[in-house]
Amino acid sequence: MRIAYLTGEYPRATDTFIQREVANLRSMGADVDTFSIRRTSDEHIVGEEQKIERDQTFYILPANIINLIVAHLNLLFSSPKKYLATIKLAWSTSQPGLRGVFYQFFYFLEAAIIAYQIKQKRIEHLHNHIAEASGTVAMLAAKMGDFSYSFTLHGPGIFFKPYQWRLDKKIEQALFVCCISNYARSQGMIFAPTEKWNRMHIIHCGVEPSLFDMVSHQQPGKRLLYVGRIAAAKGLPILLESLIILKKQHPDILLTVVGDGSDRKDLEAMTVELGLSQNVDFVGYKSQTEVREYFQQTDVFVMSSFAEGIPVVLMEAMAAGVPVVATQIAGISELVEDSINGYLVPPGDSHLLTIRIEELLKDWELRTKFGTAGRAKVEKDFNVQHEAARLYQVMNNALQNQVESIRPTYQDKYISLPSSSTETASVYSSINS
């Protein structure tokens, strides 16, 4: 099976789960070509694996004008009806206003470059991650090149503007849709035609638990960790509010913030204003290896976001046996089970956030209990090898016009991973037998 992967920017530090998914599909025998709208900047390349992946990815921008013209002319003359149908689709799905039409024009231009490359390489199928702008390009490319496409529905961004990004049309045009959670699927179903519901599958983003050593909790804690984009939507001001209170009982408490973003300078200034400059360490982007090292030096992982899908970094923390405190939003409760493998708190509630962090800091046995249960949850339901095998099966069956189950019931059954692509087809049938 030869497929193409498309995202807006690949690879990058904040989306390492896509890179892992691609690697696992390749290990199962899939021939995967990676495409990206923009070339990844150096600040998002934090490891040798990412450098290698960047070097073998096809980048659309900046576009070569000669290649652009050749692509469009080739597609126009090889299939005028498809080309004109794509123009109609692009026009009918453009965002309102002149700006929307302007952007759609460029998405149309970019789509031809991808469609031409896919046809030249005889690729069977195009899969897209992050369904906003690059999802539009994927939809138009598939229409223009007369091949199938699918996408992974993450959220939360597209759920804020579903009509602007024409989520309804993207689902309608897709061969199938991967939803990272039941929550994401339910939001997609609002805009999907009913005949597409059985083509919307639950396929989690995942991690490799074997890469993470379990943290040992044997004394009262003082070390907090946040990993992710630094933006107001991540709720970091709420976490800083909690830190003010926690500091009274734990003067040497330390919050390490791994990541970067548009609000970093403002948040750094806020820590100074709040008298927390000695208690918060902003360290920027780090490689996957370095992040795993930070987990080993952490007592509690905290995510106080207002909007998320199911953050992969929560899976990583739980795989390392680090107890988590997270906001009860979107699909997070499908990963973090309150008072079983972590704590869930209402978004924006700094008081309860403080209480839950304090409970974990003072009780190393509770941290151990949550950490052990968290690791088991990730191994069972969020193992990237299992999820990639599931995706492989869904994609293979869809290309043969066969419909897979929405989500197998794993319970105590674990997948025997295929040693070759020929074995992959039987993986999920054995689960459901």
CB 384 within 8 A of CB 24: yes
Residue 405 counted as domain residue: no
- C-alpha–C-alpha distance, residues 404 and 395, integer Å: 9
On whether residue 423 sits in a domain, the answer given is: no
Residues 240, 182, single domain; the answer is: no
| 135 and 281, same domain (yes or no) | no
Q: Does 151 lie in the same domain as 27?
A: yes
For residues 154 and 53, state if they share a domain: yes
Q: Among residues 423, 369, 350, 349, which one has the least CA distance to residue 393?
A: 423
Whether residues 156 and 47 share a domain: the answer is yes
Contact 72, 112 (CB under 8 A): yes
Q: Mark which of 138, 171, 202 sits at the end of a domain.
A: 202
Q: Same structural domain for residues 246 and 360?
A: yes
Question: Does 428 fall in a domain?
Answer: no
Burial tier of 17 (Cβ tally within 10 Å: 0-12, 13-18, 19+): buried
Q: How far apart are CA 191 and CA 95, in angstroms?
A: 17
397 located within any domain: no
- Rounded Cα distance, 134 and 112, in Å: 13
Closest to 349 measured CA to CA, from 378, 333, 328, 319: 328
If asked whether residues 180 and 269 sit together in one domain, one would say no
Same domain, 241 and 274: yes
267 and 193 together in one domain: no
Find, among 403, 347, 396, 19, the residue nearest to 200 by Cα: 403
Range of the domain at 270: 209-381
> How many structural domains are present in the chain?
2
Residue 414 falls within a domain, yes or no? no
Q: Any idea of the CA torsion for 97, 102, 106, 108, to the nearest 10 degrees?
A: 50
Q: What is the pTM of this model?
A: 0.89
Last residue within a domain, chosen from 334, 351, 381: 381
The answer to whether residue 69 sits within a structural domain is: yes
CATH number at residue 133: 3.40.50.2000
Residues 310 and 178 in one domain: no
pLDDT (0 to 100) of residue 409? 67
Q: What is the DSSP secondary-structure string of 46-69?
A: -SHHHHHHHHTSEE-SSPPHHHHH
- Is 413 among the domain residues? no
Q: What is the pLDDT of residues 392-409, one digit of tens each?
A: 999 999 999 998 889 976
Report d(CA 219, CA 372) in Å as an integer.
16
The gap between the terminal CA atoms of the chain, to the nearest Å, is 25
Same domain, 265 and 151: no
Looking at residue 200, what is its pLDDT?
A: 97
Is 130 within the bounds of a domain? yes
Same domain flag for 368 and 250: yes
Written as tens digits, the pLDDT of the chain (433 aa) is 999 999 999 998 778 899 999 999 999 999 999 999 999 888 777 777 888 899 999 999 999 999 999 999 999 999 999 999 999 999 999 998 999 999 999 999 999 999 999 999 999 999 999 999 999 999 999 999 999 999 999 989 999 999 999 999 999 999 999 999 999 999 999 999 999 999 999 999 999 999 999 999 988 999 999 999 998 889 999 999 999 999 999 999 999 999 999 899 999 999 999 999 999 999 998 888 899 999 999 999 999 999 999 999 999 999 999 999 999 999 999 999 999 999 999 999 999 999 999 999 999 999 999 999 999 999 999 999 999 999 999 999 999 999 888 997 654 444 444 444 344 334 334 334 3
Domain C-terminal end among 381, 406, 421? 381
